Amino acid sequence: MPTSPPSAKTARAPRREGRALQKGQQTKAVIVDAALGLAAHIGLEGLSIGALADVTGMSKSGVFAHFGSREELQISVIREYHQRFEQEVFYPAMSEPRGIARLRAMFGNWMKRTSIEIDSGCIYISGAVEFDDREGPVRDALAQSVQTWQTAMKRAITQCKECGQLRADVREEQLLFEIHGLILALHYEARFLRTPGSIARANTAFDNILARYAA
């Protein structure tokens, strides 16, 4: 039995739905970007639908429609932060050869981002303070993001050992702990105490660590 061709009205419907979906995604991206900026200064717990409505010029119901809950908003911010962290810190370092060169690039990129966040704030660090004694999906999302980065750093350290550039008896967990400690100390010294020369001392400390564990 022959079927009649779709009407122009029917053909336009998917296009309208596609444009609406694209517009919705763009609006959500704008909200997440604004939320990320707020969270860097006031923390994840400081985020609220009302505050974002004021910043973006949207209604509370309009903001709420894109997330459904404050918790979902916080998780979206964590995921966006992690994605930007990877784009700025991890992926550029992958162009370096395996070994010390790549590990240095990862730390160097991390330091560049940290230097900026001394003024704006770091969600990984502020979030750890906010959620260290709490359970739930927001804490889980935050911890998973940090652990993903630490896994990448550990892999880079292992590759340094495989290349013969670090001693075979070096424990990846110990070296990672010391490197991560430099970033935490830098935030405390530069952001809280505002101690001059903190960035230079962090870079010197990284060189000292590599020298101590060199093959």
Distance CA 122, CA 5 (A): 57
Angle (CA) 75 89 198, round 5°: 100
Model pLDDT for residues 128-173, shown as the tens digit of each residue: 999 989 999 999 999 999 999 999 999 999 999 999 999 999 999 9
Residue 173: per-residue pLDDT: 97
Residue 48: per-residue pLDDT: 87
CATH for the stretch 71-213: 1.10.357.10
Residue 215: per-residue pLDDT: 92
Specify the residue for token string 């060199």: 214
Distance CA 186, CA 199 (A): 7
Given a cut of 70, the residues of the chain with pLDDT beneath it are 1-21, 24
Residue 41: per-residue pLDDT: 86
Residue 24: per-residue pLDDT: 65
In contact, 89 and 113? CB cutoff 8 Å:
yes
Residue 130: per-residue pLDDT: 93
Q: What is the pTM of this model?
A: 0.84
Cα distances (angstroms) measured from residue 153 to each of 36, 99, 136, 180, 187: 25, 11, 26, 10, 19
Residue 18: per-residue pLDDT: 63
In the chain, what are the domain boundaries? Answer: 71-213
